[in-house]
Amino acid sequence: MSDQTEAPASSCVLCDRAVPSVARPRGPSVGFCASCAANLELVPTDDLTALSPRELNRLPFGYIALDAAGVVLRFNAYEERLSGLNARDVVGRHFFSDVAPCTSVQSFAGRYEQMVRDAERAAERFRYVFRFRGGERLVQIFLTYLPDRREGMIVVRELSHL
């Protein structure tokens, strides 16, 4: 699928609105805006990477943190339910080849690899069909890479079962 849009430099992972960023030497990060936070009954944040494991597990969307090579660093509870995979079995494994081989294509893994190669903070939003054990699901992906941390993230919002 190629419903691709380039996300603003500091944008809400759910709606694309700008997220006010606290000035920090390492540059802006990505979180969710006050409006989305209110709808989800959460506290807005400009930095999802700063959330504790407990806070990540309360998010109402999938969250996967990757190192520059694509190895899973964090995998939240929502993503466990969506994918049918257990975080204990996923953390430390290569996301694109071992965890979700259906993403090992140019339109997904290739985008991430390009972000890492460019070593510039980048973010993209696109629709994708995940092939989970429980069937196919149309999802919205927010993909970003933060070169100062050598870390990327995949935010997964389920749009529908196919």
- Report the alpha-carbon angle 59-94-125, nearest 5: 50
Q: What is the pLDDT of residue 87?
A: 97
Supply 65's token pair.
């943190």
pLDDT of residue 8: 44
Q: Please write the tens of the pLDDT for every residue from 76-100.
A: 999 999 888 999 999 999 999 999 9
Cβ atoms of 74 and 59 closer than 8 Å: no
What was the pLDDT predicted at 31?
79
The pTM for the full model equals 0.82
CATH numbers and ranges of domains, the chain: 5-161 (3.30.450.20)
The number of beta carbons lying within 10 Å of the beta carbon of residue 119 is 12
Q: What is the dihedral of CA 17, 68, 47, 77, to 10 degrees?
A: 100
